[in-house]
Amino acid sequence: MSSHAPRKPSPAAAGAAAANDAASAPDLGERRLYLNRELSQLAFNIRVLDQALDERTPLLERLKFLLIFSRNMDEFFEIRVAGLKGQIALDHELLGADGMAPRQTLAEISAVAHRQIERQYAILNERILPELATHGIRIARRDQWTHRQKQWVRRYFREEVAPLVTPIGLDPTHPFPLLVNKSLNFIVQLDGVDAFGRDSGLAVVPAPRVLPRLIRVPDDLAEGGDCYVLLSSMIHAHAEELFPGMDVLGCYQFRLTRNADLALDPEDVEDLALALRGELYSRRFGNAVRLEVADNCPKALSAHLLKQFGLAESELYEVNGPVNLARLFRIASQVSYPALQYKPFVPALPKALKRTEDLFAAIAKQDVLLLHPYESFAPVVDLLRQAAKDPQVLAIKQTLYRTGADSEIVDALVDAARAGKEVTAVVELRARFDEESNLTLASRLQQAGAMVIYGVVGIKTHAKLMLIQRREGSELVRYAHMGTGNYHTGNARLYTDYSLLTSDGVLCEDVHKLFSQLTGMGKALRMKKLLQAPFTLKQGLLGLIAQEAAHAAAGKQARILVKVNALTDPKMIRALYQASIAGVRIDLIVRGMCCLRPGVPGVSEHIRVRSVIGRFLEHSRAYWFANDGDPRLYLSSADLMERNLDRRVECAFPIEGKKLQQRILAALELYLDDNSGTAELQADGSYHPVARAAGEAVRDVQQQLLEKLCGAEA
């Protein structure tokens, strides 16, 4: 042995070294390493609101971002805040990895939400509405109505509104009414004695749900441009007509937000569709979680409403404008102002599908990858239509999550069933806020002769899969579509998602096995290529992350690039921390919630987290691993959340050809170079917009992809 060869340490020394290493290793279970899930989701909503201030965005699109913030906040209160309040009410408070108790989280939410909602109305009143007015789009307030407009409003109120309104006086025989979730209502102060001698002094006026909240003034009265009047303004102006002989001292709009989550106990459900119909009704009248009132409402009346609904003062939101802002989407969707909207574009078709009428032949030659909305969703619909008409097609199987009962996809499945094909649809009835639509489409498919399966009780079917079985000569050949997004043609124009069309025998066999698990009963089947939740997806991804850490420790090429909507699963976060500690460079593109804390010295200093918000909703999920020069890439329907990985049917499908892999990687790199709609997550949980250096060109990833894939200009 050479005298310069290192000595082998004694067992005692080796043990001491290992103990020292263990002592110096960070505790990856420390609460400080995890961000609160609800506050992270709230931060995403704030980033959406920020887009309403971006002067580079067309004005009506800025209004849309402001209104999307309203919708997001509605759902946030209906689901997340309601969930926290439910834990407290049941004395069953659960601590997340961040260690924050529900009461503390609610207090933080209240402080942040009050600031941001006040900011939202300030942006609307001080920026958006004045700018819209310069373009001839106005919402006329009562004090702005001309004499002729007042006459028209009075006539409209008397003919269209008053006959449908049911004012409710509050007295012992008329207790406070049960109000529908998010409905527009008015609390009215009265003076006088009615025909029956009652003088309670208070009444409630629910606005009829069948009436539009925003009414367009006739052109001859608009005085140029487009003029609108709010239903709430009409009711305010003519409240006295609803209480003849009484003096109306005040009329104030309010809106109540309720718990809208559905609670189904799998052990008590015999007929899922029947149980769900019952729950849909109860959603309208769940426990109160938030009260919005006009900011001129007297404190005594606000306190009275809070008491009626069992809410604390911290759950009161006083707003300077309509309490139901989402109704302004009618203005935001105006088609007569192209200069104030994004320029339209025509989604492209890949070369493999151009000048071909036989989609089966094209897919048999090669896998086809589509990136929506830049590339058309039409090939997916057309493939299904072709299958419905093709006498060689014997069977079609498909999962449906958010589709719409009247969609082209459902039309094609109905046609296929009526043509005698074996059509099986796995319809997830519990897609949140789409439950009623899914019940309707399930009924429609059943009436056409399709076999409708409701998935697995207690585990949502979120995977996006379609399988077509076709007789070709003496063989039975399978074709599959796998996607990261829903079978919804409207969303395919608004969401970024990937579609893979393939005839790969092994992959199609895996899809067949997954459908067999959903429709039948038996043990989990072994997949050769697919990773599926709740069985192999989580462990598969953890294994790929650990493999990158091992490569980095060995001095080999190691990098992880992930794009998802949310990252909240503690096990996944710990695995990413361990990979970072090993030296793996990790880039995470996380649109919404992210509980991982990047940039913590010694733990996550090699991790960068970016969020991109723009014209299209970033919805695609991709998992890329360098694997020492032999990349592994999966596209998936699953986010890195416990619910997706542990309590849903999800799948991740591999992209194996170098050409397709490189195409996806190139797109992901564009997201990392974006300096337009990108914010970077900091170690303290805040997001900082990526700043451009002086003279640096604007790099907008969505616009770059529009130009590259479908030639659309800015």
Q: Is 72 annotated as a binding residue?
A: yes
pLDDT band (50, 70, 90) for residue 540: very high
Look-up of token digits 């802002």: 325
Q: What are the b/e assignments for 44-64, b being 16+ CB within 10 Å?
A: bbbbbbbbbebeebbbbbbbb
Give me the percent of the chain exceeding a pLDDT of 70. 91
Whether 7 shows a pLDDT value over 50: the answer reads no
Whether 545 shows a pLDDT value over 70: the answer reads yes
H runs (alpha helix) in 157-294: 219-222, 231-237, 272-283
List Cβ neighbours of 203 (8 Å cut-off, separation of 6 or more): 167, 168, 169, 170, 187, 188, 190, 243
Which residues, in sequence order, are bridge partners of residue 479? 468
Segments of 578-673 assigned E as strands: 585-590, 607-612, 617-618, 621-625, 632-636, 648-654
Q: The domain 532-710: what is its CATH number?
A: 3.30.870.10
Single out the catalytic residue among 236, 462, 488, 551. 462
Topology agreement, domain 351-526 and domain 532-710: yes
Torsion of CA 389, 392, 398, 404, to 10 degrees: 0
On the 0-12 / 13-18 / 19+ scale of CB atoms within 10 A, 579 is buried
pLDDT at position 20: 46
CB 377 within 8 A of CB 499: yes
Kindly report which listed range (260-269, 505-514, 689-698) carries the lowest average pLDDT score. Answer: 260-269
pLDDT band (50, 70, 90) for residue 3: very low
For residue 201 the two structure tokens come to: 């002094």
Give me the percent of the chain exceeding a pLDDT of 90. 71
Rounded CA-CA distance 112/467 in Å is 46
Whether 434 shows a pLDDT value over 90: the answer reads no
Look-up of token digits 């009711």: 235
pLDDT at position 488: 87
Q: What would the mean pLDDT of 668-691 be, rounded to a whole number?
A: 93
> What's the pLDDT tens digit per position in 489-506?
888 999 999 999 999 999
pLDDT at position 352: 87
pLDDT band (50, 70, 90) for residue 118: very high
Which residues, in sequence order, are bridge partners of residue 687? 681
Whether 5 shows a pLDDT value over 50: the answer reads no
pLDDT at position 282: 55
pLDDT band (50, 70, 90) for residue 24: low
pLDDT at position 123: 98
CATH class of 37-340: alpha beta
Rounded CA-CA distance 42/100 in Å is 15
> Residue type for 314, please?
S
Backbone φ/ψ region at 612: left (φ over 0), alpha (ψ -120 to 50), beta: beta
> Residue type for 172, please?
P
Whether 267 shows a pLDDT value over 80: the answer reads no
Q: The domain 351-526: what is its CATH number?
A: 3.30.870.10
CB 289 within 8 A of CB 79: no
Q: Is-catalytic flag, 372? A: no
Query: How does DSSP classify residue 640?
Result: B
pLDDT at position 634: 98
pLDDT at position 4: 44
On the 0-12 / 13-18 / 19+ scale of CB atoms within 10 A, 555 is exposed
Nearest to 514 by CA among 460, 465, 481: 465
Q: What would the mean pLDDT of 520-529 be, rounded to a whole number?
A: 86
Rounded CA-CA distance 648/185 in Å is 38
Rounded CA-CA distance 636/638 in Å is 5
H-helix or E-strand containing 371? strand 368-372
List Cβ neighbours of 476 (8 Å cut-off, separation of 6 or more): 394, 469, 470
* Count of beta carbons in the 10 Å neighbourhood of residue 525: 14
- Phi first, then psi: what are they for 264, rounded to 5°? -120, 125
To the question of pTM greater than 0.85 for the whole model, the response is yes
Nearest to 64 by CA among 292, 264, 285, 341: 341
Whether 365 shows a pLDDT value over 50: the answer reads yes
On the 0-12 / 13-18 / 19+ scale of CB atoms within 10 A, 204 is buried
- Phi first, then psi: what are they for 554, rounded to 5°? -90, 5
- What mean pLDDT is reported for the chain? 89
Q: Is 498 annotated as a binding residue?
A: no
The radius of gyration of the chain's CA atoms, rounded to the nearest angstrom, is: 29
> What's the pLDDT tens digit per position in 273-291?
554 455 545 556 678 999 9
Q: Is 198 annotated as a binding residue?
A: no
Which residues, in sequence order, are bridge partners of residue 456? 459
pLDDT at position 286: 78
On the 0-12 / 13-18 / 19+ scale of CB atoms within 10 A, 553 is middle
Look-up of token digits 């070709």: 472
Whether 417 shows a pLDDT value over 90: the answer reads yes
Rounded CA-CA distance 352/305 in Å is 62
For the chain, domain boundaries: 37-340, 351-526, 532-710
CB 353 within 8 A of CB 362: yes
pLDDT at position 1: 40
> β-strand 617-618 against 495-502: which pairing, if any?
parallel
Q: What are the b/e assignments for 239-255, b being 16+ CB within 10 Å?
A: beebbeebebebbbbbb
CB 517 within 8 A of CB 536: no
Q: Is 127 annotated as a binding residue?
A: no
Whether 449 shows a pLDDT value over 80: the answer reads yes
Axis-axis angle for helices 408-418, 378-389 (nearest 10): 10
pLDDT at position 228: 95
The three-state secondary structure class of 101 is coil
pLDDT at position 174: 72
Whether 456 shows a pLDDT value over 80: the answer reads no
Is pLDDT larger for residue 25 or for residue 47?
Answer: 47
The three-state secondary structure class of 503 is coil
Q: Is 574 annotated as a binding residue?
A: no
The three-state secondary structure class of 311 is coil
Is pLDDT larger for residue 436 or for residue 379?
Answer: 379
Q: What would the mean pLDDT of 42-68 be, rounded to a whole number?
A: 96
H-helix or E-strand containing 500? strand 495-502
Whether 8 shows a pLDDT value over 60: the answer reads no
pLDDT at position 269: 41
pLDDT at position 240: 93
Q: Is 493 annotated as a binding residue?
A: no
> What's the pLDDT tens digit per position in 192-201?
777 666 667 8
Query: Length of the chain in residues, anyone?
Result: 714
pLDDT at position 522: 75
Look-up of token digits 């079985």: 469
Q: What would the mean pLDDT of 525-535 be, rounded to a whole number?
A: 94
Nearest to 368 by CA among 473, 496, 288, 479: 479
pLDDT band (50, 70, 90) for residue 264: very low
* Alpha carbon distance, N-terminus to C-terminus of the chain: 70
